[in-house]
Amino acid sequence: MAEEHSGLAIFEGKEIRRVWEKERWWFAVTDVIGVLSQSTNTRDYWYRMKKRELESTGVDLSTDCRHFKMVALDGKNRDTECADFEHMLRIIQSVPSPQAEPFKRWLAKVGKQRIEELENPELALDRMKEEYRAMGYPDDWIIKRLQSINVRKTLTDEWDNRGVEKGLEYSILTAEIAQNTFGIKPGDHKALKKLKREILRDHMTDLELIFTMLGEAGTTSKAIEKDAFGFYENKEAAIEGGTAAGKAREAFELESGQKVISTANRKDQIRVAKQQARLAAKKKN
């Protein structure tokens, strides 16, 4: 259940993109380079670092890296060079930085936590709750957010069993559900909230989360009802599930006089929470 929220980890207030693949974490190299080097141009720093290492030792630091699609600063999914725990330690050795040792300990802690969560999924839930609380979210919102993750996981498990391919096909089907539920695509929804790299669902209101869950739960139900298989049959289920949620949203808006789609985001709340955490850490040290 933790997978959806696993896209970001935090090291001393800095975001590190990551993905869980083949029983281990893979971390975005340029994010780590940015933390350790304080460089404003991490891609160039990484390029020069690889070149210097190759010339001096003959070691190509990219050899054991893998590429994953990750959300970049412009909000788009881009090919990103990533390293696992072992190779990241090798890369860190080539970065002259006093941050290296604390970062190594942090990597070890993250890896240990993930193994514990696989053995006991309740730990993942508890850690997610604490992460959201640390970012200033109220408990009633957190409950809905965790429910939305469970509904999403149920849907993606169904897609996986019904021949839908991860990546592009998942994205297209998700956009169909959102389009028919809210009348706008996820990218436009993010733009409305002035979001770029942030996770849209982490900035949704309670109502937005509720109708997102309704659209995805409806899609799961339709896929099972139709015994849909493959992308195109599941696309039909996604449209029908989203349309049903969209009709419910329109009825709610008509009856309540309240719009479900909101321009509100949580950026100020999260920024304040991070500032308070940094101040608390400084006082503690």
What is the DSSP-derived secondary structure letter of residue 266? S
Q: Does pLDDT of 1 surpass 60?
A: no
Tokens 């990103």 correspond to 80
CA distance 200 to 122: 24
- Residues linked to residue 28 through DSSP beta bridges, in sequence order: 82
Which has the higher per-residue pLDDT, 38 or 244? 244
Q: What mean pLDDT comes out for the span 69-80? A: 81
Q: What mean pLDDT comes out for the span 2-19? A: 66
Which has the higher per-residue pLDDT, 24 or 270? 270
What is the DSSP-derived secondary structure letter of residue 201? G
Closest CA to 66 of 111, 107, 106, 27: 27
Q: Which helix (H) or strand (E) is 2 found in, with range?
A: none
pLDDT digits over 190-212, tens only? 999 999 878 899 999 999 999 99
Which has the higher per-residue pLDDT, 38 or 147? 147
CA distance 166 to 282: 42
pLDDT digits over 44-74, tens only? 989 998 898 888 888 898 988 999 988 887 7
Strand order across the 66-71 sheet:
8-11, 14-21, 24-28, 77-84, 66-71
Closest CA to 167 of 238, 84, 80, 68: 68
Confidence class of residue 119 from pLDDT cuts 50, 70 and 90?
low
How is the chain split into domains, by residue range? 2-120, 135-272
Closest CA to 32 of 110, 103, 80: 103
pLDDT digits over 173-191, tens only? 999 999 999 999 999 999 9
